[in-house]
Amino acid sequence: MTTKIKTLLLLLTLAMPMTAQEKLFTLEDLNFGGTNYRNLLPRNLWLTWWGDQLMYQDAEEGGTIDNKGRRKPLFTLDGINQLMTATTDKEKRVIHSAMNATYPYADKPLVLLGNGKFQILYNFKQQTIEWVQTTEMATTQEWSPASRALAYKQADQQLYVRQDEQEVKLTTDGSRQIVYGEAVHRNEFGIDKGLFWSPDGQRLAFYRMDQSMVADYPQVDIFPREASYEPDKYPMAGMTSHTVTIGVYDLNSHRTVYLKTPQSKDYQAVEGSSFDNLPVYFTNIAFSPDGKTIYLQELNRAQNDCRLVSYDATTGDRIAELYRETSDKYVEPLHPIQFLPWDDTKFILQSQRDGYNHLYLYNIKGECIRQLTKGEWVVQEVMGFNAKQKTVIFAANKYHPLHRWLYSVATDNGKITELVTADGVHYGQLSPSGNRLVDKYSAPTKPRNIDVISLHPSPVTHHLLEAADPWTGYQQPLFECGSIKAADGKTDLYYRMVKPADFDPDKKYPTVVYVYGGPHAHNVNASWHWASRSWETYMAQKGYIVFILDNRGSENRGRDFEQATFHQLGQVEMLDQMAGVDYLRTLPYVDMQRLGVHGWSFGGFMTISLMLNYPDVFKVGVAGGPVIDWKWYEVMYGERYMGTPQTNPDGYAKTSLIGKAGQLKGRLQIITGYNDATVVPQHCLSFIDACVKAGTQPDFFAYPGEEHNMRGHASVHLHERITRYFDDYLK
């Protein structure tokens, strides 16, 4: 597609003619906690794979689905539950949904189902229950299809392994201080779990986190008559953090060894591979295909020195350092290595060392064979491999920064093949062999499409679903997308604008800038309605224009784009947001005397930063869960972007909002979850104290019992509160 056509697509305005019969939205329709929200989502299909056979998953049954969408049921929950009741000593055991059914064996007619208290393997050809395993006592858990062993924690904080119904207790010192089998480093570095089975299911790697030395943050549960103390371990930037080690349990020998990492008591420096900066973060755990070797990416506390290291899974000994990446800012390892299914001596490494996240082919000696992808675009996900074609299947924004397409790349020569051709944002679900691919995607005017793509010998697409617009019959706003230059005068930034359905260019409208602005997130892409949040529709319906701009520092634009904010969070971001404000000034229908700003979390920090640094520009702001001073934020995230208060005192001073409290002129409402464990309440309360001392008057609202984001129907209440604040002071 030509650049000219791409530009035309970006500037597309999505407009629907208004009719007198159109209904108005409520927050019960638009907000995810609303009573009618799910009825207004685009139609979807819940699909999974049994080998190369596509399977559908409904609440009450599961079965096969072909390329034309024709279904053949293979089991029903009613039938399985009747069988369970009859075969479990009259104990009533009921599975409630088939939506999470999986088919763990490509060559066996078995489906895995469970209800949190037990799980079963049901043979849908024989219509028999082949295997049952109790999971009732498990909190955190991880199951191995190969050995059918379950690793889990119980309420006593100890780690267990159960194979069939035989239970082995792996630990005895688990507690709030010593945490086993959980995600560590506060879920940074791509970590989302703490239990890892080897491919053959014979070894279990697990995290052990000692946080006894970490200070408690004094959270309080206010709901009992006598409020109770519920402290949370919260290591703040520059302060003492936890210590992590990695254990490996052998299912056959019943023996646990700990990897001799630089934080373990058995660590011995390897000659010629000493660490100048002792690593404290251990991430991206991966087993070799034979389960005998474990690979880690080890990162120093400054997060500018990362090494891929191999360990012997049987002894815990350090084998070799295979790869090292350093930076004058930071290195951020987010993905474990992935071995080629057809060659267990080679693996895929992801790195943004050339400025963009790309794929590199390495061998187990640590030699780079070739860079597989290259260019000013980002590999966003590796979905798997096609063994017949010897290709890697991945998603990337190669086509355009706002579009996410699916591709394959040949490992022998780096040839890239487009697997999709439709504009939009595509998410793929690859079959185990890599021969077939489910493609779920949306585009600015397409709520949801689902295709099935056969990859071998060449891509052939079959259309399963084209969802109708679920908002038909409602008064819909106008959605626009375009680009402006950043404050540096050369970098393209993309925006979304949402206008009232009856927009009149001769009128002037109150306008709200919605902002996030931080790393690992973006607001604008080429999905349905340009990725508009439904609250924006609610505001447009009330007569507002909403403007959203992805500034430098946000994701999917490459290393330098994101690292432009290094050691000075909020500063470059504000300059770019003000470039957006300068663009709004050129629009005659934007009332610059009625300009507001709203954001949550990092966006809350940005909202208050803009209100205080540009007090004559923004009349009203609503800041949710805002960071006020980065010295109160957690170690891993905070130090990556800001260093420590000791090493970057000027940066911390410049970005802190405490000393600027006296600059507040407009109306500012601050909202927080009373039990926020991400941006702890110390931020909001300290800022309010600073405002009291400075004589400025922010408004404040807290949600008791809520954390960083409001859950359930509380979210409806939250967004009505945000809206009313703008209605009261901006309209």
676 part of the active site: yes
The catalytic position among 601, 609, 656, 715 is 601
Structural Rg of the chain based on CA atoms: 27
Question: Is there a contact between 269 and 283 (Cβ–Cβ < 8 Å)?
Answer: no
CA 53 – CA 527 distance, rounded (Å): 28
What single string gives the DSSP state of each residue in 56-122? EE-SSEEEEE-TT--EEEEEEHHHHHHHHHHSSTT-------STT-B---TTS-EEEEE-SSEEEEE
3-state DSSP percent of the chain in helix, strand and coil, to 5: 15, 35, 45
CA 105 – CA 127 distance, rounded (Å): 17
Question: Is there a contact between 189 and 198 (Cβ–Cβ < 8 Å)?
Answer: no
Q: How far is CA 170 from CA 157, 281, 562, in A?
A: 11, 23, 42
Q: Is 631 helix (H, G, I), strand (E, B) or coil?
A: helix
The catalytic position among 144, 676, 683, 715 is 676
Strands (E), 230-292: 232-233, 243-250, 255-258, 279-287
Ramachandran class of 284: left when φ > 0, alpha when ψ lies in -120 to 50, beta otherwise: left
Closest CA to 529 of 595, 597, 481: 481
Q: Is 262 helix (H, G, I), strand (E, B) or coil?
A: coil
CA 453 – CA 418 distance, rounded (Å): 12
- What residues does 257 pair with on adjacent strands? 248
Residues 6+ apart with CB under 8 A from 187: none
601 part of the active site: yes
**Residue located via tokens 């063994």:** 387
**Residue located via tokens 């626009």:** 480
CA 442 – CA 531 distance, rounded (Å): 10
The catalytic position among 708, 713, 717, 727 is 708
Residue 140 has φ and ψ, to the nearest 5°, of: -75, 140
Strands (E), 500-576: 509-514, 545-549
Q: Which residues are catalytic?
A: 601, 676, 708
